[in-house]
């Protein structure tokens, strides 16, 4: 069975600085998808970024980028120019290729605090 591990329960960063959140996963599959979701106090899960395992190029979305290391089964999220609105829980998630985004496996999350 696939597992997702986030080893940093909490992190903090100063506004405008850069922070990296870590995620490792375990799977025997060669094709899959990885995601980072953000959950602010409003409780709504919001997709931040998505990576297909068969793509070597790291995904980027504005201030958010990932460092995908397939051999190491590592998928970290880098947030540049951190903003107060980035304060939230961040969850790493895994999905089998050919599966459904309705069935995601989540890590336990990292609580990120952005300080003014």
Partner 1 sequence: DAGVTQSPTHLIKTRGQHVTLRCSPISGHKSVSWYQQVLGQGPQFIFQYYEKEERGRGNFPDRFSARQFPNYSSELNVNALLLGDSALYLCASSFRQGDHSPLHFGNGTRLTVT
Q: Which residues bind partner 1 (CB under 8 A)?
A: 4, 33, 42-47, 91, 93, 95, 97-109
CB of 75 to partner 1, least distance (A): 14
CB of 93 to partner 1, least distance (A): 8
CA distances to 12, 49, 71, 98 from 64, rounded to whole Å, are: 16, 7, 22, 26
Q: Name the residue nearer to partner 1 (CB basis): 88 or 107.
A: 107
Q: Name the residue nearer to partner 1 (CB basis): 7 or 18.
A: 7
Cβ-based neighbour number of residue 88 at 10 Å:
21
Do residues 65 and 115 lie in contact, with contact meaning Cβ atoms separated by under 8 Å?
no
CB of 34 to partner 1, least distance (A): 12
Of 81, 86, 40, the closest CA to residue 63 belongs to: 81
């Amino acid at each position: 069975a696939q597992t997702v591990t986030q080893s940093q329960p909490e992190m903090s960063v100063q506004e405008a600085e850069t922070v990296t959140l870590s995620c490792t996963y375990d799977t025997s599959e060669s094709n899959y998808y990885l995601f980072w979701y953000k959950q602010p106090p409003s409780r709504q899960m919001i997709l931040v970024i998505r990576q297909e395992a068969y793509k070597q190029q790291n995904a980027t979305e504005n201030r958010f980028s990932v460092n995908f290391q397939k051999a190491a089964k590592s998928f970290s999220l880098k947030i540049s120019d951190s903003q107060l609105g980035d304060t939230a829980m961040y969850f790493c998630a895994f999905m089998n290729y050919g599966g459904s985004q309705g069935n995601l496996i989540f890590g336990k999350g990292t609580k990120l605090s952005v300080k003014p």
